[in-house]
Amino acid sequence: MLTRIDHIGIACFDLDKTIEFYRETYGFEVLHIEANEEQGLREAMLKINETSDGGASHLQLLESTREDSVVGKWLAKNGEGVHHIAFGTADVDGDAEAIRGKGVRVLYDEPRIGSMGSRITFLHPKDCHGVLTELVTAAPSDPAGH
């Protein structure tokens, strides 16, 4: 069962400048920064607030490190802006399978490792009214949900 909006992914051209904007404008705390060579990106997770289920809501800022990466291609076509929405779940495998059973294409056969060791998969935007949708289960060692 999906429990909350985990994060909203925002593609940007300059991660450091975008972090500063969200820090200075809204006071969001930078929780984590990492490079993902496999996906060709640098990312930052900014905490917005805590939630009643013990998790938190976040913004995930995504900067491409390669033009041929998914985010690099998206930025070239669309420019900066909202890239995806992610819903938190305790069981990414089970929820992905249940959603697949309802006719929605799940982009990965098996969930992959995402930010901070989370397990993730994506749903095809054409099956979700134009919205790239991510399902995410926080890493077991991360009880706060990031």
3-state secondary structure of 10: strand
Can you list the alpha helix ranges (DSSP code H) found in 58-143?
70-78, 92-100
Question: CA-to-CA distance for 93 and 51, rounded, in angstroms?
Answer: 23
Residues acting as catalytic residues: 7, 43, 60, 84, 134
Tens of each residue's pLDDT in the chain, 146 residues? 888 899 999 999 999 999 999 999 999 989 999 999 989 999 999 998 776 555 778 999 999 999 999 999 999 999 999 999 999 999 999 999 999 999 999 999 999 999 889 999 999 999 999 999 999 998 886 544 55
